[in-house]
C-alpha cells in the first residue's frame, strides 16, 4: 500500500495530540509524520508507533514533500497556512472555522456527505464539533422524513476550548472544593461548578458565533438551505464529550420506534435508549469512542410531526480528530 507524508499542525494541542493517536489506531499509511506547533514547543518529543518525533516550528516551508496536512491550531493559523500547504502540494484537512463556509471548500462529515470531498481544490474543512455529532444522527432521519425545523441546545465540554481549558476546570474544581478563590483565565466566568450560556463571541443579533456556526454548517453539510434552525450553545463543567438536546419537526410523520430502527442501522450511530433501565447516552459512555450516541427518543407532543432526541459524542474524537482522519482516508482512496 502506498504510504503518505503527513503533517499535523497544532500537534501539541488537545485535537492535534488526538489526531496523532487516531492516525496510529486506524493504521493510516504514514510514511513520515511531521509534527508542527509554535516556537514554544520546539524540541518537545511526541511518540508515534513507538518512535519519538521532535516537534518543529510551523514555518512557510514546513509543507515541502507533505501529502496530507491536518490542521488544528486555530483559525488565524489556518487562514494563513492552509493555502501555503495546499500550494506546496498537500491536501489539507482543516479543523478550524477559517474555511468552513467558503463556497470553494467542501465541509465534510464522512457518514453524511462523503461525495463533497471530490470537489476539493486543496482544502477540505472539518465541521464544528457540535455540528458533526448532530448531523450524523439527523441526516438518516432527514433522508426518510425530511426535517423542516431543528431546535438544539448544547451542553459542551471544556476540552472543546483546548488543553488550557481542561486545566482550568481541574484547578477551579480543586480550589472550590478546598474553599479557595478560583482563578479565571480561559473562560469569561468561573466554569468550575457553573454553567456558561456563551461559547465564542456575541454577534449583533444576540447569538454567539458558535450558534451561528452550527446553523450555517448544518445546512451546508445536509445540502438543504430550507431547514429552519435555531441553537443555544452552553459550556458545562464536563471534561470531555458534548451533549445535545435536539428537537426536530419533520414533513412526514416519524414514530420514535421507526426513528430508533433507522438510527440503529445508520453508520457511526449507537442507539442507547432504554429509559426503564436508566440507559441513555452520557459523556462517561461516549468518552474515547468514535460513534455518536442517541437516546431519549420520544414524540414532541406539542406539534403534529416532532421528535426529541438526546445526542452525546466525544468532541475531540468524532467532533474533531477522527472526523479529520476519516476525511483523509477517503482522500487517499481517491489517490490510489
Residues that bind ligand A2P (CB under 6 A): 10-14, 16, 37-38, 40-41, 58, 73-74, 77, 162-164
* Closest residue to bound ligand A2P by CB: 13
DSSP annotation of 246 reads E
Residue placing its CB nearer to ligand A2P in the complex, 60 or 104: 60
- Give min distance, CB of 99 to ligand A2P, in A: 16
Of 41 and 172, CB closest to ligand A2P: 41
* CA atoms of 130 and 205, how far apart (whole Å): 21
Select which of 129, 142, 241, 292 is catalytic: 129
User: Cβ of residue 44: shortest distance to ligand A2P, in angstroms?
Assistant: 8
Spatial neighbors of 174 by CB under 8 A, at least 6 apart, are none
Residue carrying the nine cell digits 506547533: 37
In the bound complex, what is the minimum distance in angstroms from residue 133's beta carbon to ligand A2P?
Answer: 19
Q: Of 23, 235, 25, 267, nearest to 139 (Cα)?
A: 267
CB nearer to ligand A2P: give 58 or 327.
58
3-state percent breakdown (helix, strand, coil) of the chain, nearest 5: 35, 25, 40
The residue annotated as part of the active site, out of 120, 142, 242, 292, is: 242
Whole-angstrom Cα distance, residue 220 to residue 224? 7
- Asked about 189 being catalytic, the answer comes back as no
Toward ligand A2P, which CB reaches closer, 95 or 266?
95
Longest dimension (CA), the chain: 61
Residue among 168 and 249 whose Cβ is closer to ligand A2P: 168
Smallest gap from Cβ 80 to ligand A2P, in A, equals 9
Q: Name the minimum Å distance from CB 213 to ligand A2P.
A: 16
User: How would DSSP label each residue in 160-228?
Assistant: GG-HHHHHHHHHHHHHHHTTPPPP--SSSS--TT--BS-SS-B-TTS-BHHHHHHHHHHHHHHT-TT-E
Strand order in 68-71's β-sheet?
45-48, 51-57, 30-37, 4-9, 68-71, 91-94, 123-125
Minimal distance in Å, beta carbon 305 to ligand A2P? 40
C-alpha cell at 7: 503533517
Helix 256-264 with 129-145: angle, nearest 10 deg: 110
Residue 82 appears among annotated catalytic residues: no
Give the number of other Cβ atoms within 10 Å of residue 138's Cβ: 24
Residue (82 or 309) nearer to ligand A2P, CB:
82
Which residues are tagged catalytic?
129, 242
Amino acid at each position: 500500500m502506498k504510504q503518505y507524508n503527513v503533517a499535523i499542525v497544532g500537534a501539541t494541542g488537545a485535537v492535534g495530540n488526538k489526531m496523532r493517536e487516531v492516525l496510529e489506531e486506524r493504521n493510516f499509511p504514514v510514511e513520515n509524520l511531521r509534527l508542527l506547533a509554535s516556537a514554544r514547543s520546539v524540541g518537545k518529543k511526541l511518540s508515534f508507533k513507538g518512535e519519538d518525533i521532535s516537534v518543529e516550528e510551523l514555518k512557510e516551508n514546513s509543507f515541502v514533500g507533505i501529502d496530507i496536512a491536518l490542521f488544528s491550531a486555530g483559525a488565524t493559523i489556518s487562514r494563513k497556512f492552509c493555502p501555503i500547504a495546499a500550494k506546496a502540494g498537500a491536501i489539507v484537512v482543516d479543523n478550524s472555522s477559517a474555511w468552513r463556509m467558503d463556497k470553494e471548500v467542501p465541509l465534510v462529515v464522512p457518514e453524511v456527505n462523503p461525495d463533497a470531498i471530490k470537489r476539493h481544490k486543496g482544502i477540505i474543512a472539518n465541521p464544528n464539533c457540535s455540528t458533526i455529532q448532530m448531523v450524523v444522527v439527523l441526516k438518516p432521519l432527514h433522508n426518510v422524513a425530511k426535517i423542516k425545523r431543528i431546535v438544539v441546545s448544547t451542553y459542551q465540554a471544556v476540552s472543546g476550548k483546548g488543553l488550557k481549558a481542561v486545566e482550568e476546570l481541574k484547578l477551579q474544581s480543586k480550589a472550590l472544593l478546598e474553599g479557595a478563590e478560583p482563578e479565571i483565565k480561559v473562560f469569561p466566568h468561573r466554569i468550575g461548578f457553573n454553567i456558561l450560556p456563551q461559547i465564542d463571541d456575541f454577534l449583533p443579533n444576540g447569538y454567539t458565533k458558535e450558534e451561528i456556526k452550527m446553523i450555517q454548517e448544518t445546512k451546508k453539510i445536509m445540502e438543504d438551505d430550507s431547514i429552519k434552525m435555531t441553537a443555544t450553545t452552553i459550556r458545562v463543567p464536563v471534561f470531555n464529550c458534548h451533549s445535545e438536546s435536539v428537537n426536530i419537526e419533520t414533513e412526514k410523520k416519524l414514530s420514535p420506534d421507526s426513528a430508533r430502527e433507522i438510527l440503529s442501522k445508520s453508520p457511526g450511530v449507537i442507539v442507547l435508549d432504554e429509559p426503564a433501565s436508566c440507559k441513555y447516552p452520557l459523556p462517561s459512555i461516549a468518552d474515547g469512542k468514535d460513534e455518536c450516541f442517541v437516546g431519549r427518543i420520544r414524540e414532541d407532543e406539542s406539534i403534529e410531526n416532532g421528535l426529541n432526541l438526546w445526542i452525546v459524542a466525544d468532541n475531540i474524537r468524532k467532533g474533531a480528530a477522527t472526523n479529520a482522519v476519516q476525511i483523509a482516508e477517503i482522500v487517499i482512496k481517491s489517490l490510489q
